[in-house]
Chains A and B, each alone.
Chain A
Amino acid sequence: MDVFAEHGVAGIVGLIFNAFFGAGYIIGLDGVNTGIIAGGFLDSNFKQLYIQIAYVVACMAYSFVISAILAYGINYIPGLHLRASEEAELLGMDDDQLGEFAYDYVEVRRDYLAWTPAKDEPEKQENPVEPHERHGIQEHSQALQGHSPDSSSSHGNEHTGIQGDRHGIAAEDQEKKALGANGAPGEQKWN
Chain B
Amino acid sequence: MGAIAERGRLIPSMVFIFLWATLVYCPVACWVWNINGWAFKYGVLDYAGGGPVEIVSGMSALAYSMVLGKRQEKMMLNFRPHNVSLITLGTILLWFGWLGFNGGSAFGANLRAVMACWNSCLAAMFASMTWCLLDFRLAKKWSMVGWCSGCISGLVAATPASGFIPPWSAIILGIITGVICNFATKIKFWYVHRSSPENSRN
Which chain A residues have a beta carbon within 8 Å of chain B's beta carbons?
1-15, 17-23, 25-32, 37-40, 42, 48, 51-52, 54-56, 58-60, 62-64, 66-68, 70-72, 74-75, 80-84, 86, 89-90, 92-93, 97-98, 102-103, 106, 137, 140, 188, 190
Chain A residues with Cβ below 8 Å from B51 are: 11, 15, 55-56, 59
On chain A, the residues within 8 Å of B24 by CB distance are: 62-63, 66-67, 70
Asked if B19 CB lies within 8 Å of chain A CBs, one says: yes
- Chain B residues lying within 8 Å of A39, measured Cβ to Cβ, are 45, 164
CB distance from B24 to the nearest CB of A (A): 5
**Does B130 lie at the interface of the complex (its beta carbon under 8 Å from any beta carbon of A)?**
no
- Judge if B35 is at the interface, Cβ distance under 8 Å: no
Do residues B177 and A89 form an inter-chain contact, with CB atoms below 8 A?
Answer: no
Q: Which residues of B are found within 8 Å of A63, using beta-carbon distances?
A: 24, 28, 55-56, 59-60, 63
With A55-B51, A81-B9 as known contacts, state yes or no: A11 contacts B160, CB within 8 Å: yes
The verdict on A7 contacting B66 (CB below 8 Å), with A51-B43, A54-B42, A74-B19 known, is no
- How far in angstroms is the closest Cβ of chain B from A1? 3
B185 touches A2 (CB 8 A): yes
Decide: A12 and B55 in contact? CB cutoff 8 A: yes
B156 touches A6 (CB 8 A): yes
Tell me the smallest distance from the CB of B127 to a CB of chain A, in Å: 8
Contacts A19-B45, A55-B46, A67-B20; is A1 near B187 (CB within 8 Å)? yes
- For chain B, the bracket of interface size reads 35 or more
Query: CB of B144 within 8 A of chain A?
Result: no
Q: Which residues of the other chain, B, contact A25 by a CB distance below 8 angstroms? A: 166
Contact B158–A14 (Cβ < 8 Å): yes
Given contacts A3-B201, A6-B156, A71-B63, is CB(A17)–CB(B6) below 8 Å? Answer: no
The 5 closest A-B CB pairs, nearest first, are A8-B58, A11-B54, A1-B188, A10-B156, A21-B169
Closest Cβ–Cβ distance, residue A139 to chain B (whole Å): 8
- The 8 Å CB contact of A4, one of B159, B165, B187, is B187
Q: How far is the CB of B168 from chain A (nearest CB, A)?
A: 9
Smallest beta-carbon distance B176→chain A, Å: 6
User: Which of B75, B78, B166 is within 8 Å of A23, CB to CB?
Assistant: B166
- Kindly state the separation between the CA atoms of A30 and B111 in the bound complex, as whole angstroms: 6
Taking the nearest CB of chain A, how far is it from the CB of B180, in angstroms?
6
Query: B156 near A4 (CB under 8 angstroms)?
Result: no
Q: How far is the CA of A39 from the CA of B197 in the complex (A)?
A: 38
**Is B142 at the interface (CB under 8 A from chain A)?**
no
Which residues of B have CB within 8 Å of A52?
Answer: 44-45
